[in-house]
Structure 1
């Protein structure tokens, strides 16, 4: 855990790099709620939009189409103007950022823009395509996106980048999991289009590629390579009479046989020609991954699995190493707790959430933590496939910061403010349940009401502040005090300026919150994908007035 030293007066006076930089525009500019707004530079706007956006997701103030168009427009612009930075962002999004669709859509826009502009500097188009493809179904997904948006003519750099990824990603198990009729581009379609040759270091891959082509074009006669134990074991299971299948699963070594044949839990019900009862679930649970277990807690309860099996599930989903390997956002565990009807999972999910928040820093001194509970935070979910609102996600991170801080005032705000009580050592999920819904966003009023000589202020919000009546949005806070804003939505207008001590971040992850002690210990904040000795240091805005960056428009 990173622990920063207490911020001295001398340290506060030091110019520090701002995570996000706003610039003035000649026209009047407002937040969606009508408050004075600030315009971000393109790199900063794209970063916030990328980490706060699930592609095609509608939000309270923008349609999915509007956000997607803004995202693609920014990627296309910066792919030409700053290709090194943009390629770094796209790689980081798919890697540490763990955001699949945004990185694939962004990589396609990167290549299209650079081909249209005839640009050849910076990272190659081929390498960017290859870098964002990290799962075996993604080459087909990228081709499906490209052909639907840019047409059937697929440029050579796209084909070559996909071919590079195919050699890394295609295997017997990935073929069984992802080469299905539900995918627009099957493995054979991808191989035909990009002309991927086998990896010379994988002598078995040539036979696998031929089988993938046969499965696509001649499924009635396709035979798996005899030397491929996974594919031959899978075929044997498929040929087993339906009446004998359930006994195989629930009998001795049943789960091991399923695993050896690459039969996933998703395919199990179809293979059995019947529902998964307690005996079947208990047989397959030992070979399920931790996230598959998390997704099926409600199904386990509905099937009435045994207490012993439930204990094994709870131990797996709360194991610290499993949580680290799964690379899931903490909000997944909150959503699972909300969706699982039985209390027997609560302790395990609380432990898992704690593990996923392990690197949230312990902030020294006094910290004011403001959590936005306005209506727009409840209207939007963190993704269209989730029922978890941004309000809930913000509350979890506010609680995590407060519980780890040396001394914190945890406050929810909207039109009014309320202190959220907590006791050190309490479970995060227990404290999170004490938040309320508080109407509109009035950040300035919240700061006036609650700032009392704190050493720093942290605001978790969508930044859509209502008009303030006098002074600036952070006017109640002395200019030398650090103010950190976490923007959950990635909207275009900002509610406050950046400056020597004002910083805006995007994305609710423990890695993002580690920026606070880095800034306060005197180190420059850098884009997450740049090494300390590389270019790409985040820009600090030149203040046009004390404590601020650009002046608000209007």
Structure 2
């Protein structure tokens, strides 16, 4: 009699995020499951906007927890920690957490006199992807640990500087508002030019002149952008608006590297219709998203708005911008004109293009409790409740057969039709008070093939029971943690119970790996 080689046999799969078997209390007093250090750091990292308040934790408390976990694992497991930090800044697209983490990685390994594993220099270089980030990392280090900068930090920054510093980056990011100018950084880290870039030596010397002798600094010969910029800066103020309103004004501004942030200062006047129309062609996708209200208030023409809208809705532009879907939702909610609505709806759809299409029957539960309504960050206009609803709705719309449910103290089904836009379905979600995940699962689970819960995992004390235990052990339950709190609402890592984190559609692809019989490893190690 066959006992193991049967038609129904399934490979045993595991998840990277694992519980320890120990329990604690959630912030609301409910039963919570503790995770191992790597799992806790991963979930905190993908939800951490550094120095930002959450509903249950102050920014300082979260930052201290984050730094302590990085320092511990930088010594205990440097390969894994270096992989996490590089992924955070790359595919994870989280700048600040990765920069802070790299600095703490270096500090911990220096304090422990640790050797082996990725060097501090390698880790620092791996997280610096934008020209302003060397200064950001130096700012964090010196404000936290003083002005003595260790060699791994200096060398990692020097490697990044050779890769990142160009004419346009100098104009965009080397401004008087920065504590560390490009010239300061070059002096501090002793960065030498890249031999493969013969123009870089002259550029570095010019950056030093701009910092120390701005009145006599002259762009190097052949530096076309810097020369064009200098020519515009030399124009009398009364002649500058004619550049904007004249033929070829947009091209001239772009050639000189004049950004929208710098244009008002250069004009020394308001950003009116003509100014916006001249700079819109050279603005990046997310700069457009952030300024839609400004365009409307200035009276930008429908013709120019149509070109901006076409760029917003372009799938390739959306993919290249690597912005989270909630950025487009925030813009949609706050853009005053209907001419932006459909392009933003399209952009949001494109940003969710990689959400998987799940076969069979799927139960999707979206947390709309009170703690989910805190902003994603102090600068964000969007909250975790809406971010959860975006992904829950996208999953439901793409699934073969899905039940979409919102829950808090109570729970209720959210109706949708095949082919509807995510934004229309979002309007049917509400604010549902406390967090009774267990009851929501118990009420709506009806022999589904899988259950997905998008939540902060913070059940209140009077709601008893592990929500994942309401589902048979052979049915997978996937939890997306959007806040990175220490305790989870259920055990994870083994036996069809899986936890992921963050606000990227990349995490949702883990479902397909697990159900194909593959282990859901850390995202930077998945082939």
| TM-score with structure 2 setting the length | 0.97
Alignment partner for residue 224 of structure 1, among 219, 227, 238?
A: 219
Alignment partner for residue 24 of structure 1, among 21, 42, 50?
A: 21
Asked if 1 retains the 8 angstrom alpha-carbon contact of 2:13 and 2:519, the reply is: yes
Provide the C-alpha distance between the structure 2 equivalents of 1:489 and 1:214, rounded to a whole number of angstroms. Answer: 45
Provide the C-alpha distance between the structure 2 equivalents of 1:230 and 1:307, rounded to a whole number of angstroms. Answer: 30
Asked if 1 retains the 8 angstrom alpha-carbon contact of 2:30 and 2:463, the reply is: no
* Residue 531 (structure 1) shift: 4.4
Name 1:549's counterpart in structure 2: none
Which residues of 2 match residues 388-467 of structure 1 at below 5 A?
Answer: 388-467=382-461
Q: Secondary structure at the match of 1:475?
A: helix
CA-to-partner distance for each residue in 1:471-530, whole Å, 9 max, x for gaps?
A: 533232111110000000000011111132000000121111111111101111111111
Asked if 1 retains the 8 angstrom alpha-carbon contact of 2:30 and 2:464, the reply is: no
Gaps of 5+ in 2: 1-5
How many aligned positions are there?
521
Provide the C-alpha distance between the structure 2 equivalents of 1:193 and 1:350, rounded to a whole number of angstroms. Answer: 46
Q: Does residue 526 of structure 1 match 2:524?
A: no
Give the direction of change, closer, same or farther, for the CA distance of 1:22–1:126 in structure 2 (3 Å limit). Answer: same
* Residue 182 (structure 1) shift: 1.0
* Residue 225 (structure 1) shift: 1.1
Name 1:91's counterpart in structure 2: 86
Asked if 2 retains the 8 angstrom alpha-carbon contact of 1:460 and 1:485, the reply is: yes
Asked if 1 retains the 8 angstrom alpha-carbon contact of 2:436 and 2:463, the reply is: no
* Residue 463 (structure 1) shift: 0.3
Name 1:191's counterpart in structure 2: 186
Which residues of 2 match residues 57-76 of structure 1 at below 5 A?
Answer: 57-76=52-71
CA-to-partner distance for each residue in 1:428-472, whole Å, 9 max, x for gaps?
A: 001001001111001111111111111100000000012366653
Provide the C-alpha distance between the structure 1 equivalents of 2:183 and 2:464, rounded to a whole number of angstroms. Answer: 64
Q: Secondary structure at the match of 2:25?
A: coil
Calculate the aligned-residue CA RMSD, in Å: 1.3
* Residue 415 (structure 1) shift: 1.0
Which residues of 2 match residues 130-529 of structure 1 at below 5 A?
Answer: 130-378=125-373, 380-467=374-461, 471-498=465-492, 499-529=494-524
Provide the C-alpha distance between the structure 1 equivalents of 2:154 and 2:487, rounded to a whole number of angstroms. Answer: 38
Provide the C-alpha distance between the structure 1 equivalents of 2:7 and 2:45, rounded to a whole number of angstroms. Answer: 35
Provide the C-alpha distance between the structure 2 equivalents of 1:221 and 1:251, rounded to a whole number of angstroms. Answer: 30
The 10-residue stretch of structure 1 (350-359 or 207-216) with the greater mean CA deviation from structure 2: 207-216
Provide the C-alpha distance between the structure 2 equivalents of 1:352 and 1:523, rounded to a whole number of angstroms. Answer: 32
CA-to-partner distance for each residue in 1:66-88, whole Å, 9 max, x for gaps?
A: 00000000000000000000000
Name 1:125's counterpart in structure 2: 120
* Residue 64 (structure 1) shift: 0.3
Q: Secondary structure at the match of 2:506?
A: helix
Gaps of 5+ in 1: 1-7, 533-554
* Residue 141 (structure 1) shift: 0.9
Structure 1 runs of 4+ with >4 Å offset: 468-471
